[in-house]
Amino acid sequence: MKVAQGLHLPISHTPLLCPVSCHQQGDTELINAAGVCKTSVAEYYQAKGVFPGAADSGCSTVGTANSAPPVVAAGTGVISVSAAGGLATQLTGNASGTLLNYTPTLAGGAGSAITAWDCKTGTTITAKYLPATCR
């Protein structure tokens, strides 16, 4: 099966295709956009003890041909990245949603350390199209 931007989609030969190794390396536009943003949000949270909003998150405000820029929800640190362009078309054409969410998991209550990032909660992309860690 060919892989479109790291998501397992049954698609035709388009510029969105990358080899299976792209998925294995986690080299996707949605995952990468959220990954860089996770670092910025975690650093902000560690320094200030609260989650940033979109304006002060340090995340990119520029999307790509296949992903919108990441958006950070103020107060929760949830990072949302939506598929765009051809990738969104392929996902919706396969009865999938287009949203990837990363939700910080805290060790305890507010102000405690971020121990992990959950990419299942709130994600609307069908699980079979996601990397194994998000299924």
Average of per-residue pLDDT across 105-125: 91
Does the residue 98 lie in any domain?
yes
Does the residue 24 lie in any domain?
no
Say which CATH number the domain at 103 has. 3.30.700.10
Residue count (the chain): 135
Would you state the pLDDT for residue 118?
Answer: 94
Q: Do 63 and 84 form a contact (C-beta atoms < 8 A)? A: yes
Would you state the pLDDT for residue 109?
Answer: 79
Does the residue 99 lie in any domain?
yes
Cα 103 from Cα 89, distance rounded (Å): 25
Q: Which residue range(s) make up the domain with 91?
A: 29-134
Does the residue 85 lie in any domain?
yes
Does the residue 6 lie in any domain?
no
Q: Which two tokens stand for residue 85?
A: 């362009």
Cα 135 from Cα 119, distance rounded (Å): 8
- Centre a 10 Å sphere on the Cβ of residue 120 and count the other Cβ atoms it contains: 13
How deeply is 134 buried, as exposed, middle or buried, from its count of CB atoms within 10 A (0-12, 13-18, 19+)? middle
1 to 7, 20, 25, 80, 108: CA distances (angstroms): 11, 8, 16, 27, 42
Q: In this structure, which amino acid lies at residue 32?
A: N
Tens digits of residue pLDDT in 63-112: 888 899 999 999 999 999 999 998 899 899 989 999 999 999 999 877 88
Does the residue 10 lie in any domain?
no
Minimum mean pLDDT among 7-11, 20-24, 69-73, 91-95: which range? Answer: 20-24
- Centre a 10 Å sphere on the Cβ of residue 49 and count the other Cβ atoms it contains: 10
How deeply is 75 buried, as exposed, middle or buried, from its count of CB atoms within 10 A (0-12, 13-18, 19+)? exposed
Does the residue 43 lie in any domain?
yes
* The total number of structural domains that make up the chain: 1
